[in-house]
Amino acid sequence: MIAVTESSTPERPRYRVLTGPDDAEFCYRVSAALADGYVLHGSPALTFNGERVIVAQAIVLPPESSRP
């Protein structure tokens, strides 16, 4: 069940973790989320899967009252 609060909708959860190869596409996905109102939550995590670096970045959608 998805909880809906004033700052989230089923289409825009308050918390997300973006993951993928450490490449330009991943950077664009993070940049698009930031432009959509999300903010970074913590530091990125990196791992190596034997072929490439995989990155994870948590993002949160702040309450409407604290958005610019």
pLDDT at 5 > cutoff 60 = no
| 47 has pLDDT over 50 | yes
- Pairing outcome for strands 53-60 and 15-21: antiparallel
Domain regions of the chain by residue span:
15-66
User: CA-CA distance, 23 to 34, in Å (whole number)?
Assistant: 17
Six token digits for residue 68: 């610019």
State the pTM of this model: 0.77
